[in-house]
């Protein structure tokens, strides 16, 4: 991880405490928690403050959604709704595009 000596944390005001690297984040998807360690961003080592770009946040949500759909068998309704929105799918598109082709996953 690289330290950025010129940075000042907007949260705690500490100077030179930002580390740029692959930090672990946890995303809650319905009733599941997904940990991701693949993003590269700056994080304050003093207080833990970080900022993600909109694109990074969207990628994080998409990867978490795919992970839950792939790994948890029959997802809960909350997890399925999160995944559908993160992947940009309509409710009617979701079962077949995610491999969950049974219509009983969708409440109308």
Q: What angle do CA 41, 43, 64 make, to 5 degrees?
A: 55
d(CA 91, CA 79): 13
For the chain, which residues score pLDDT lower than 70? 1-6, 38-39, 93-108
d(CA 2, CA 82): 33
pLDDT value, residue 75 = 76
CATH number of the domain bearing residue 85: 3.10.20.860
pLDDT value, residue 42 = 84
- The pair of three-digit structure tokens given for residue 106, joined into one six-digit string: 């969708």
Name residues whose C-beta falls within 8 Å of residue 37's C-beta, 6 or more positions apart in sequence: 22, 23, 24, 25
Range of the domain at 43: 2-105
Number of structural domains in the chain: 1
pTM above 0.85, yes or no: no
């Amino acid at each position: 991880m690289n330290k950025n000596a010129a940075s000042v944390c907007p949260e705690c005001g500490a100077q030179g405490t930002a580390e740029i690297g692959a930090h672990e984040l946890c995303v809650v998807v319905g009733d599941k928690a997904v940990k991701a360690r693949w993003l590269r961003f700056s994080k304050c080592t003093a207080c833990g403050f970080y900022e993600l770009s909109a694109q990074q946040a969207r990628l994080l949500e998409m990867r978490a959604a795919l992970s839950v759909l792939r790994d948890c068998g029959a997802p809960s309704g909350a997890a399925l709704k999160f995944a559908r929105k993160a992947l940009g799918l309509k409710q009617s598109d979701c079962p077949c595009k995610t491999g969950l082709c049974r219509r009983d996953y969708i409440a109308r």
